[in-house]
Amino acid sequence: MSIVGIQRRLIRSIPITMLFVAVMAPTVRAQDPHPLDQTAPPPMKIITRAERAQIEQAKEDKARVKLTIELAETHLANVENQTSQQQWEGAAADAGMYWALIDDVLSFLKSIEHDSNRRRDLYKRVELALRSHGPRWTTIRHSTPAEYAVWIKEIEEFARNGRTEALNSFYGQTVMREGPQKPSDSKQPSKPLDKN
């Protein structure tokens, strides 16, 4: 084969090579991991020393629960504000502090005597707060990038489970389970009297 024949073959193969590269390039690019597909590190669940000191100074259980909820709501407001400004790291930090405070108040409520009205009232306060927090967390999650939204979803579910725990505390031992009913003695027909 002559040099001219080889050159003609190369010229003819260029469009085929270009077509192959054009078809395969998107496939190769799709295999590269996108940096946006990575999840952010989980928010740190911490209660600052100043907040811990405030909580510990509360004399009564009611004051302690109320203060803890107020601190958590402050962090939730900060998360909303920072999310609207697209400051994801700051929002994640405040979300972790919210998470830690709600976890702390739920743990505290478990330590109170079970059959007391006081405990029930405190759980009701927590339940009402968590009920109002749910839609706010949903709004935050929808406006947060996917790598942070994973943790917002987890906090949202944690708050929902905390609310369920608070609601369940109202029922305690008094809930009756569904199941087969035993016939009561009062519904049995009376026997006819013997007239001997």
Query: Which pLDDT value is given to residue 32?
Result: 47
Question: How far is it, in rounded angstroms, from Cα 144 to Cα 91?
Answer: 10
Digit-coded pLDDT (tens) for 125-173: 999 999 999 999 999 999 989 888 888 899 999 999 988 888 887 766 5
Position 99 confidence tier, pLDDT thresholds 50, 70, 90:
very high
Averaged pLDDT, 88-117? 88
Query: Which pLDDT value is given to residue 174?
Result: 52
Confidence check: pLDDT of 180 > 90 = no
Averaged pLDDT, 109-135? 85
> Is 105 in contact with 49 (CB distance < 8 Å)?
no
What is the DSSP secondary structure assignment for residue 172, as one 8-state letter? T
Query: Which pLDDT value is given to residue 19?
Result: 63
Query: Which pLDDT value is given to residue 54?
Result: 93
Digit-coded pLDDT (tens) for 77-96: 999 999 999 998 999 999 99
Averaged pLDDT, 64-86? 94
Beta-carbon contacts of residue 127 (< 8 Å; ≥ 6 apart): 163, 166, 167
Position 59 confidence tier, pLDDT thresholds 50, 70, 90:
confident
Question: How far is it, in rounded angstroms, from Cα 3 to Cα 6?
Answer: 5
Mean of all residue pLDDT scores within the chain: 80
CA–CA distance from 72 to each of 21, 68, 116, 129, 179 (Å)?
55, 6, 25, 10, 41
Digit-coded pLDDT (tens) for 2-57: 776 666 676 776 766 666 666 766 655 555 444 445 777 888 899 999 999 999 99
pTM of structure: 0.67
Burial bucket for residue 125 (CB in 10 Å: 0-12, 13-18, 19+):
middle
Question: How far is it, in rounded angstroms, from Cα 80 to Cα 102?
Answer: 17
Averaged pLDDT, 95-117? 87
Task: Give CA angle at 103 (142, 165), nearest 5°.
Answer: 85
- CA 147 vs. chain centroid, Å, equals 14
